[in-house]
Structure 1
Amino acid sequence: MTRPRILCISFSDLRADARVLRQLGVLGEFGDVTTVGYGAAPDGVSEHLEIDRSLPSLPQTLGGVLKLAVRAYGAVDLDAPAVRRALQLVGDRAFDLVVANEARAFPLAMKLAGDAPVLGDLHEWAPEERSHVLSWRLLVSPYMWSVCRRYLPRAAAVTTVNRSIADLYEREFGVRPEVVRNSTRYRESVPSPLDGDRIRLVHSGGAVPGRSIETMIDAVDVSDERFTLDLYLVGAYGSDSYLDRLRDRVERSDRVRIHPPVAPDDLPATLNSYDLGVFILPPRTTNHRLMLPNKLFDFVQARLGLVFSPAVETDALITRYGLGVTTDGFAVDDLVRALEGLTAEQVLEFKAAAHRAAHELSSEHDLDVLRRTVQRVLAEVG
């Protein structure tokens, strides 16, 4: 029997995109998967069509920007350089299912799908993805609203990262996404012991301006001597200037270190030697306010306690499972107060709580949701 042909589109570096990698693992259970995106081929796919990293996935030429400005969105849908290149790479290949990662991939997915169904995975609230950037807010945000209005109702199924964001999509566009969180697979592990009176903080993620990495560095530098901070940072595409500035800043600190990034699947094992995973993110956008990032699940699988800034979804999980503490706010002083109020006994209990919750907060449930969704969509194709 011929296996279904599945196309997965993601304008990301696929080998570094943990959510897409988990998605590909499920898709491979149902068919032969072709990927199109940036970077080298991910493991396990039948074919990979690589887009040059220099090609942006949104219109950035003068003509494209003008089309965005006058809201000629029908002319913009397939105009971005990466989209045009993807059309060339895919050519006349036909598929039984097309998966679009993030709203920006929907026009391309619908074009390539023909009569095949499209499954859309909305990694966050697309209309406000980067609304803290003025040009994005003025030009791209209205376009994302248009994409969602025009394309979401045509999708055979839609998934997103948490219930709060799913509720937004249902309220604004009348589409009820399934929830597939950014959880990672269960790891057999145990919490590491404390190293004397030291409390070892760790943060992993993108070196992106606005992520408050400086806040974490400054808080550790002025907090008491118990605390150290290790940062596993991924540089931004095309520029390491922000990461270079962080390196310069850390050179002046004797308790903060920056390490090279670690592959998503290796992160929990690498992080296990630490005590607390820390993340501070001011709610500049709806996505920040409703965040439920993959690093929370990485920290749990690493058996770490958590110190996070306030956010609707993370607050709920931290409280429900007793995983750690939430700061009062987003400033250096807020983080310092949260840290200095901790005892060694509390840190050990947070790590033990992560160990107890590791099964329930692993990806097995979320991937089952995705499996059922893919199975249903393919069954409807016949």
Structure 2
Amino acid sequence: MKVISAVINNIETDQRVDKVCNSLLKFGYDVELIGTTLRGKPTLNKEYKTSLIPMKYQVGFKSYAEFNFKLFVNLLIKADKNCILLANDLDSLLPFYLVSKIKKLPLVFDSHEIYSELPSLHNRPTTKKIWKSLERFLLPRVKYFYTVSNGYANWFKKEYGSNPEVIRNVPHLQKLNDTENLIFFKLPQVPENHKIVLYQGALNMSRGLEYMIEAMLYVENCVFWIAGDGPKRNELEKLVQDFKLDHKIFFLGNVPPKILKTITPLAEVGISLEQDLGISYKYALPNKVFDYFQAKVPILSTYLPEIKATIEHYDAGRVITKHDAKHIAEELNILLKEGKKSYHERLSKAAQECCWENEEPKLKAIFEQIKKVD
């Protein structure tokens, strides 16, 4: 059987979608992933088939409308009777749902977040209402549904009566020699006897980075690397300049996943300081947490429930109680003093348990269930 999936964001760097598509390929499905040229043309170099929707509009409502219309047309042309449709997130679900009804095809939905509760909608009530209406109409009508955390699953069940499976966004188990063949990437020079603190991920609102940058005023013999890009980058760079911390804080920009996997183990501490700005962040369980596990890097984490529970379950770092620069610095200094070697055994256990190899069977079971019904 064929599986057609799609995502509006960059198919070159979306690790979850790539893992799912590669797993489905391994299970024996003919896989095609449809991406877009939104904010640039990604490289199409995958084991499975890929194609791109050319985008005229790059931001705002028009870009979503264009994507949904063109995706609908693409799916009508490409989907046949031996096809399973796989939608990623609410922004692609409507065309998948319509084509599944028109052609009587099974539909699977992977919700990476709670779209109607994203922080970006916090001050946009009209846009939020539109996404909420779509959620309310579509989600109760989707039979095969999975998401990334227990918090998300419980919320969807309470809000819409849905009962999604939980398939966490975790990396593949990293072998001991995975970081031996380093790929060239220019890194900042680290002064002798200084340790590296790392943040990896998008530079969006509510990531706690403003507090972390200020906290570096109170942390000695340490540099802070920020691997990622996003709309907050200029603001964060200005903050670094205002605090005169250019010698301690460095922006690495977007780092390809294969290269990032070789950089993360260099860190002494990994950062995940998300703030509670909306339900989608409150119950998030970001993949960076599990990337730190695989790299055997202890974590300074937020108090948000899913992340906190994961860190405390494995005793894999320290959890802040508030977003305050001095408090963050105090907790970070404790972690740096303890050293990552003291966490190695616990992180090894976390890495063994929190890997894609343990989530993959749940994905296979969903698609096998569809084949049996079919």
Scaled to the shorter chain, the TM-score interval is 0.7 to 0.9
Which of residues 119, 139, 142 in structure 2 aligns to 1:152? 139
2: CA distance between counterparts of 1:190 and 1:260? 26
Residue identity opposite 1:259 in structure 2: L
Deviation at 1:17, TM superposition (A): 0.8
1: CA distance between counterparts of 2:343 and 2:57? 43
2: CA distance between counterparts of 1:11 and 1:379? 30
Equivalence for 2:166: 179
Which of residues 284, 303, 308 in structure 2 aligns to 1:310? 303
Q: 1:127·1:145 contact (CA, 8 Å) conserved in 2?
A: yes
Q: 1:191·1:351 contact (CA, 8 Å) conserved in 2?
A: no
2:234 corresponds to 1:247: no
Q: 2:292·2:298 contact (CA, 8 Å) conserved in 1?
A: yes
> What SS does the aligned partner of 1:334 have?
helix
> What SS does the aligned partner of 2:352 have?
coil
More moved, 148-157 vs 313-322: 148-157
Equivalence for 1:273: 266
Equivalence for 1:31: 29
RMSD: 2.5
- Paired residues, number: 351
Which of residues 75, 80, 88 in structure 1 aligns to 2:65? 80
2:4 corresponds to 1:7: yes
Deviation at 1:55, TM superposition (A): 4.3
Deviation at 1:365, TM superposition (A): 1.3
2: CA distance between counterparts of 1:379 and 1:48? 29
2:112 corresponds to 1:123: yes
CA 1:53–1:33: 2 relative to 1, 3 Å: farther
1: CA distance between counterparts of 2:267 and 2:178? 9
2: CA distance between counterparts of 1:87 and 1:191? 40
> What SS does the aligned partner of 1:272 have?
helix
More moved, 247-256 vs 157-166: 247-256
Deviation at 1:261, TM superposition (A): 2.0
Q: 1:11·1:105 contact (CA, 8 Å) conserved in 2?
A: yes
Residue identity opposite 1:104 in structure 2: D
More moved, 102-111 vs 227-236: 227-236
> What SS does the aligned partner of 2:46 have?
coil
2:333 corresponds to 1:340: yes
2: CA distance between counterparts of 1:21 and 1:226? 38
- TM-score w.r.t. the length of structure 1 is 0.84
Equivalence for 1:48: 51
Question: Structure 2 unaligned runs (5+)?
Answer: 180-190
Equivalence for 1:290: 283
Deviation at 1:60, TM superposition (A): 4.2
Deviation at 1:197, TM superposition (A): 5.5
CA 1:343–1:260: 2 relative to 1, 3 Å: closer
Equivalence for 1:139: 126
2: CA distance between counterparts of 1:285 and 1:266? 32
CA 1:53–1:315: 2 relative to 1, 3 Å: farther
